[in-house]
């Protein structure tokens, strides 16, 4: 089974449509991070106003967020609400298409791009209750355009516009992170030039009858440098792990969730301790947060994750 893409009849969206119960392969087992909690407490992670990052007060809030949480919700980022709604909508439209249409973007096991679900790497693997569409957006010469949906017909245009605006926001955030840590302004930016890798993953979570046993995404930390998450406006699901418990992250309309990823460990000398990642630039600590995503019995939801990585070779 290792390295195989799940057959289409095993995809969670199709199971949900057919009204079937999830197979045992989707059931989360006990782990160091506990079992599935269907009603964890809500915890307000730090909120940063991106339009105020030139102020000392907001920079201090940013430093505190990164050294204690490793993630924050960004408001005031300047990306229009209409564009955020549009990029979510084209994702929803794609996942609502008939399977024969979605097959045109079918996931490739060798590079992981396209439409599908989990790639199976072991017999013991717990499967995520989600379908995903994973695409390379930048550098533009590395796009595999035959995996990009042609329906809806404005999908590509919308995703590229959102990514370009997000790149400007992320440049400002990288500079602000450096300032908040009393480092040179370009200490992070110089690693994210024109060849910086930006990938998009639309995660679609169908309704699930076994919310007590199944997760949309298993506990994980992201392999990117920074992940930016656009949550569903109507349905919560993101959870973060801290103080030995999972907590729900409340949805703030039009906010973007920034989460530090594992590449900080490799590139910026992060030390792994007790499941968290710590970075040591001038005795400051950056934490990469563990996250998961729950599922709903009745409501479906869609999240868009953008992964920002180091310059491509």
Architecture of domain 23-304: Sandwich (2.60)
Identify the pLDDT of residue 14. 65
For the stretch 163-173, pLDDT in tens is: 999 999 999 99
Tokens of 282: 């001038």
Q: Where are the domains of the chain?
A: 23-304
CB 183 within 8 A of CB 282: yes
How sure is the predictor about 10, in pLDDT bands with cuts at 50, 70 and 90? very low
pTM of the model: 0.85
Identify the pLDDT of residue 161. 98
Q: Which residues contact 186 (CB under 8 A, 6 or more apart)?
A: 175, 178
Query: Strands 226-230 and 256-260, how do they pair?
Result: antiparallel
Please compute the mean of the pLDDT values over residues 78-105 and round it to a whole number.
95
Identify the pLDDT of residue 271. 32
Residues comprising the chain, all counted: 313
Q: Which residue has the higher pLDDT, 88 or 313?
A: 88
Decide if pLDDT at 52 tops 50. Answer: yes
Decide if pLDDT at 34 tops 80. Answer: no
Please compute the mean of the pLDDT values over residues 50-66 and round it to a whole number.
95
Identify the pLDDT of residue 2. 44
Please compute the mean of the pLDDT values over residues 179-197 and round it to a whole number.
84
Decide if pLDDT at 284 tops 50. Answer: no
Give the best-scoring range by mean pLDDT among 18-27, 41-50, 205-214: 41-50
Please state, for a pLDDT cut of 70, what percent of the chain lies above it: 78
Q: Which residues contact 21 (CB under 8 A, 6 or more apart)?
A: 209, 210
How sure is the predictor about 70, in pLDDT bands with cuts at 50, 70 and 90? confident
Decide if pLDDT at 255 tops 70. Answer: yes
Decide if pLDDT at 3 tops 70. Answer: no
Please choose, from the candidates 313, 307, 256, 311, the residue with its C-alpha nearest in 3D space to the C-alpha of residue 137: 307
For the stretch 286-310, pLDDT in tens is: 445 566 777 676 667 888 999 888 7
β-partners of residue 42 are 248
Q: Which residue has the higher pLDDT, 173 or 11?
A: 173
Identify the pLDDT of residue 288. 53
Decide if pLDDT at 178 tops 60. Answer: yes
Tokens of 287: 């934490």
Identify the pLDDT of residue 81. 98
Decide if pLDDT at 67 tops 90. Answer: no
β-partners of residue 260 are 226
Mean pLDDT of the chain: 81
d(CA 251, CA 108): 32
Distances (CA, A) of 258 to 13, 20, 65, 263: 27, 35, 10, 14
Identify the pLDDT of residue 274. 31
Identify the pLDDT of residue 15. 65
Phi-psi region of 182 (alpha: psi -120 to 50; beta: other; left: phi over 0): left
Please compute the mean of the pLDDT values over residues 206-220 and round it to a whole number.
84
């Amino acid at each position: 089974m290792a390295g195989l893409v799940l057959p289409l009849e095993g995809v969670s969206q199709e199971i949900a449509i057919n009204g079937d119960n999830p197979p045992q392969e989707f059931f989360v087992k006990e782990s160091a991070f506990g079992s599935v909690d269907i009603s964890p407490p809500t915890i307000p992670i730090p909120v940063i106003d991106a339009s105020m990052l030139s102020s000392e007060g907001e920079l201090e809030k940013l430093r505190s967020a990164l050294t204690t949480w490793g993630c924050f919700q960004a408001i005031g980022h300047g990306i229009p609400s209409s564009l955020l709604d549009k990029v979510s909508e084209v994702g929803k439209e794609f996942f609502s298409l008939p399977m024969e249409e979605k097959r045109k973007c079918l996931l490739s096991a060798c590079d992981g791009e396209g439409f599908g679900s989990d790639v199976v790497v072991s017999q013991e693997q717990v499967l995520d209750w989600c379908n995903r569409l994973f695409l390379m957006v930048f550098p533009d010469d590395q796009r595999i355009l035959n995996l990009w949906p042609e329906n809806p017909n404005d999908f590509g245009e919308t995703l590229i516009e959102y990514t370009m605006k997000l790149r400007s926001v992320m440049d400002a955030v990288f500079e602000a992170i450096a300032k908040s840590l009393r480092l040179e302004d370009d200490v992070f930016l110089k690693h994210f030039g024109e060849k910086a890798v930006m990938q998009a993953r639309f995660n679609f979570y169908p309704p699930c009858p076994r919310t007590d046993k199944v997760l949309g995404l298993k506990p994980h930390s992201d392999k990117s440098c920074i992940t930016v998450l656009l949550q569903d406006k109507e349905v919560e699901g993101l959870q973060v792990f801290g103080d030995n418990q999972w907590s729900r992250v409340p949805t703030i309309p039009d906010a973007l969730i920034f989460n530090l990823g594992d590449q900080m460990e490799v590139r910026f000398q992060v030390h792994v301790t007790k499941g968290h990642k710590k970075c040591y630039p001038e005795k400051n600590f950056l934490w990469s947060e563990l996250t998961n995503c729950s599922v709903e019995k009745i409501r479906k939801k869609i999240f868009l994750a953008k992964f920002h990585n180091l310059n491509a070779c």
